Chain A
Amino acid sequence: SQQGEEDPQALSIQEGENATMNCSYKTSINNLQWYRQNSGRGLVHLILIRSNEREKHSGRLRVTLDTSKKSSSLLITASRAADTASYFCATEGPTNAGKSTFGDGTTLTVKP
């Protein structure tokens, strides 16, 4: 079953603005990963954050993790039209044996 919930479901912003997406989960995790999916395409791995980490950066991406609240956020700064895509969080728990449980995703539209 899916344990991740993301909000908002859809987000529309202007180029140059920042985009923040949130992910909540229900059970203990080993790590949480964010993925990007362009329409009708496969997934691209963006960033992984482990349960003992609180924040990670990668280029224009910033991910936070609050295990006490069982939530994570993905911030994309200075967004570009090319960032338009769906973004999913995925969790892996201590007993998941390597499989990921995906959230519902946030559809981001960046208008030029």
Chain B
Amino acid sequence: GAVVSQHPSRVICKSGTSVKIECRSLDFQATTMFWYRQFPKQSLMLMATSNEGSKATYEQGVEKDKFLINHASLTLSTLTVTSAHPEDSSFYICSARKPGGTEAFFGQGTRLTVV
């Protein structure tokens, strides 16, 4: 199957700082990637759809100025959590699909802890 790599796997940052998470499709080009957030023992909530070369589409209730998404190339999308607060601590996961494909390939996830 295809490989989606997410980096870093774990990050601890101080309140008020910004953190960037990368999502790369290693062996295919992805015009669309998706960012999810998962709280402990809960399901995945879609945050936004990352579109290569255009603005991301955010789900209702997700602050676009807080969670900046950039999809600058066909293999890379980044999520930047700006001015992080402890309540932003969560597990963030990205996914990507091959063009025309139906299966989503997920990254390993990033555990963000804001102290």
Contact = CB atoms under 8 A, between A and B. Distances in A.
Contact of B104 (A45, A50, A107): A45
Interface of A: 2, 4, 30-31, 33, 35, 40-45, 48, 50, 88, 90, 92, 97-105, 107
Contact of B108 (A2, A30, A42): A42
Interface in B27-77: 32, 34, 36, 41-46, 49
Contacts of A105: 42-43
| A42, A44, A97 — most chain B CB neighbours (10 Å) | A42
30 contacts: A33-B103, A33-B104, A35-B106, A40-B91, A40-B109, A40-B111, A41-B108, A41-B109, A42-B6, A42-B93, A42-B107, A42-B109, A43-B106, A45-B1, A45-B104, A88-B43, A90-B104, A97-B32, A98-B97, A98-B104, A99-B34, A99-B46, A100-B34, A100-B46, A100-B95, A102-B36, A103-B43, A104-B43, A105-B42, A105-B43
A50 B103 CA distance: 11
Given A43-B93, A45-B103, A92-B102, A104 B46 contact: no
Contacts of A35: 106
Contacts of A107: 41
